[in-house]
């Protein structure tokens, strides 16, 4: 493989961690591609949460704007008690194994939301229909806590969503149930089966978890086929970047960077962290032709 050996963040290249309206971003894929072009980025990846729904629109936008695109998904997984985000790139979206994984996750999350609403309904005047009424895309929306919060606001229990999130919808409330997710092992296996490239996102971000993945947990995922680590991300503090770079050098892993852009949804600026061109070429070489 290419001798990349970077120890400092790349100054030019691609932003391969971007969210659009197809998950929790505020902008369309076309806006993503246009803004990336205006910034002089070499390319971008669309990496919405647990979906490939935006891929076609992003591809059309990539052609219209004339900027190359990687197709990706940020998949939420669980490794013991650690919630892990994994970036999957350039995999076959029609692969049966990965489709079944997404479908069963969606079904489990729907059941989880229904159970939470049933618990909340014992104390507050809401029903499942009220929650469904808060979704924009109906069936296609993954119904979750934001919609339950909105239903409680509509019922007059709270004034706004954040009040609901510090009340009945809080993760510390007695109604809370954890979000069902596939294991990291299942995600690596499914993405590999679909011919893709798999990278752990912001693996050193202490804000996200009380416990971070240990070297041993990362080592096990490397044995199972992990391709790389997202080192250049605003959530990874310097000492974690150093740790992750050490693991990557030892095991010849890809080192990626991305902004985790959400449009107006988060302060992260498009292009604030990048992946160098040599790493992109390696992702394209390893992934499937789409």
**Strand, coil or helix: 150:** helix
Tell me phi and psi for residue 273, to 5 degrees: -135, 145
Query: What six digits make up the tokens of 80?
Result: 């013991």
Dihedral over Cα of 170, 175, 176, 182: its sign = negative
Helix/strand/coil (H/E/C) assignment for every residue in 119-151: HHCCCCCCCHHHHHCCCCCHHHCCCCHHHHHHH
Closest CB to Zn ion among residues 151, 201: 201
Residues that bind Zn ion in the complex, under the rule CB under 5 A: 74, 85, 201, 260
Closest CB to Zn ion among residues 20, 90: 20
Question: What minimum distance in Å lies between the beta carbon of 33 and Zn ion?
Answer: 18
**Strand, coil or helix: 201:** coil
Quick count: other Cβ atoms within 10 Å of Cβ 268?
21
DSSP assignment of 153-171 equals: HHTTS-SSHHHHHTTTTST
Question: What minimum distance in Å lies between the beta carbon of 4 and Zn ion?
Answer: 23
Closest CB to Zn ion among residues 199, 201: 201
Closest CB to Zn ion among residues 149, 199: 199
Question: What minimum distance in Å lies between the beta carbon of 29 and Zn ion?
Answer: 15
Closest CB to Zn ion among residues 49, 119: 49
Question: What minimum distance in Å lies between the beta carbon of 21 and Zn ion?
Answer: 14
Which single residue brings its beta carbon nearest to Zn ion?
Answer: 85
| DSSP secondary structure code for residue 271 in this structure | T
Closest CB to Zn ion among residues 160, 171: 171
Query: What six digits make up the tokens of 7?
Result: 């120890």
Question: What minimum distance in Å lies between the beta carbon of 23 and Zn ion?
Answer: 8
Query: What six digits make up the tokens of 33?
Result: 């591609």
Query: What six digits make up the tokens of 210?
Result: 């009380």
Question: What minimum distance in Å lies between the beta carbon of 226 and Zn ion?
Answer: 16
């Amino acid at each position: 493989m290419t001798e990349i050996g970077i120890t400092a963040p790349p100054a030019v290249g691609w932003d391969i961690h971007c969210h659009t309206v197809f998950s929790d971003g505020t902008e369309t894929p076309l806006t993503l591609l246009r803004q990336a072009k205006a910034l002089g980025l070499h390319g971008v990846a669309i990496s919405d949460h647990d979906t490939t729904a935006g891929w076609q629109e992003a591809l059309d936008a990539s052609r219209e704007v004339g900027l190359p695109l990687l197709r990706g998904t940020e998949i939420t997984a669980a490794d013991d008690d650690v919630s892990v985000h994994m970036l999957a790139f350039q995999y076959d979206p029609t692969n049966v194994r990965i489709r079944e994984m997404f479908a069963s996750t969606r079904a489990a999350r729907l059941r989880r939301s229904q159970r939470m609403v049933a618990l909340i309904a014992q104390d507050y005047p809401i029903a499942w229909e009220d929650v469904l009424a808060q979704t924009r895309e109906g069936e296609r929306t993954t119904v979750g806590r934001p919609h339950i919060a909105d239903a409680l606001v509509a019922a007059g229990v709270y004034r706004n969503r954040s009040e609901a999130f510090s009340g009945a919808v809080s993760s510390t409330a007695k109604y809370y149930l954890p979000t069902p997710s596939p294991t990291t092992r299942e995600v690596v296996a499914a993405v590999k089966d679909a011919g893709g490239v798999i990278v752990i996102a912001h693996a050193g971000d202490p804000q996200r978890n009380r416990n971070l993945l240990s070297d041993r947990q990362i080592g096990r995922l490397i044995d199972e086929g992990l391709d790389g680590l997202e080192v250049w991300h605003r959530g990874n503090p310097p000492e974690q970047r150093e740790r992750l770079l050490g693991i990557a050098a030892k095991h010849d892993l890809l080192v990626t960077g991305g902004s985790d852009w959400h449009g107006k949804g988060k302060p992260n600026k498009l292009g604030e962290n990048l992946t160098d061109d040599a790493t992109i070429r390696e992702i394209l070489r390893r992934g499937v032709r789409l």
